[in-house]
Every structure is written in C-alpha cells, then in structure tokens.
C-alpha cells in the first residue's frame, strides 16, 4: 500500500517513481505499436501495393513518352503554315494540344514534384496556338510574315526548352522513384 508522502523529499521520490513507471509503460506501448505496424504492413500487402504503384508509374511514363512522340509528329505537320498554306486535313491544333496535355497530366499527378516544369510546358504548348491556329498566315515575303515567323521562332524555342526541361525532370523523377523502390 502506498503511504501519503509526509515531506517534500518523499513527495519527490513518489513523483520520480511515477514518472519512471509512466516512461516504461510508454516505451512498452511504443515498441508494441511499432511491431504491430510492421506486422500489419507485411500482412496487408504493402509490398504488393508498392510493386503495383511502381508498375503504374512506369506504364504511365511509357504512355507519356508515346503521347509525346505522337504530339511532336503532329506538331511538325502544322509547320505547313509557314509555306503560306493553312494546315488542311489536320485536326485543330488546340484539340491536339488538349488531348496531349490530358495524357501527360496523369503522370504529373503521380509525380507532383514536376509541377513547375509541367506548367511551363503547358504554357509553351498554348503559346504555339497563336501560330498554328492562324486561319490564314501572312503572305510570304512581307513584313508581317517576317514578324510572324520571328515570333514563332521565339515561341518554338521556348517550347523546345520547356519540353526538354519537363521530359528531363519526369525521366529523372520516374527513374529515381523506380530505383528507390527497387533498392528498398
């Protein structure tokens, strides 16, 4: 039976015993919690989740690379606008760009650290709409055509730089993630 402390020294002694008991119980529950968390992770399929998530990221990366190649091939077809002709027989550039952006957005959602490069890339794609969306380009040999082509070259250079930055960052992030998963 615990006696009520009569002096300050006895009260301190009782308090220290209580704190020691509390810290031991707290440590015991911490160890039990850590062991049970690891057991639940092993039993609930955490490792299979990691493998499926890795497969999802790598498949989405492959789909993004395929979509990028298709978009680049289509984008190059719009360059007929600089021969003085409108790009007949091709879907509207904004529709092609929208479909491409939707296809790369899925990977961006899986790798949120690529957000700044993604936004810059989308802006660069949208800036090209001004040139590829022109219903009738200026006639060749005129001052308007020179200005139009000069502005296009600046927008295209910005697009190529943004594309390289985005795809490089995505490859780095996807590759780092896959290596991290495989090594852990």
pLDDT digits (tens, 9 = 90+) for 5-25: 888 988 898 889 989 999 999
Provide the whole-model pTM: 0.67
pLDDT band at 176 (very low <50, low <70, confident <90, very high): low
Residues 107-130: tens digit of each pLDDT = 888 888 889 999 999 999 999 888
∠ CA(119), CA(80), CA(87), 5° rounding? 80
Positive/negative CA dihedral, 8, 14, 18, 24: positive
- Mapping DSSP to helix (H, G, I), strand (E, B) and coil, where does residue 41 land? helix
Angstrom distance (rounded) from CA 97 to CA 95: 5
The predicted structure's pLDDT at residue 117: 93
Closest CA to 77 of 63, 93, 95: 93
CA 118 to chain centre: 8
Contacts of 106 by beta carbon, 8 Å cutoff, 6+ apart:
60, 63, 64
Token pair for 32 = 């039990």
Tell me how long the chain is.
184
Angstrom distance (rounded) from CA 155 to CA 127: 7
């Amino acid at each position: 039976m615990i006696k009520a402390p009569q002096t300050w020294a006895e009260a301190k002694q009782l308090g220290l015993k209580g704190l020691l008991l509390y810290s031991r119980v707290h440590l015991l529950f911490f160890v039990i919690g850590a062991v049970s968390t690891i057991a639940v992770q092993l039993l609930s399929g955490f490792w299979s989740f990691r493998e499926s998530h890795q497969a999802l990221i790598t498949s989405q990366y492959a789909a993004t690379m395929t979509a990028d190649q298709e978009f680049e091939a289509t984008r190059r077809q719009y360059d007929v606008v600089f021969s003085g002709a409108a790009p007949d027989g091709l879907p509207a550039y904004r529709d092609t760009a929208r479909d491409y952006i939707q296809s790369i957005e899925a990977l961006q959602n899986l790798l949120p650290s690529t957000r700044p490069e993604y936004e810059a890339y989308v802006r660069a794609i949208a800036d090209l709409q001004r040139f590829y969306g022109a219903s009738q380009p200026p006639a060749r040999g005129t001052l308007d055509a020179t200005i139009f082509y000069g502005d296009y070259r600046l927008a295209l250079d910005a697009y190529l730089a943004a594309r390289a930055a985005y795809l490089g960052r995505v490859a780095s992030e996807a590759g780092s993630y896959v290596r991290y998963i495989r090594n852990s």
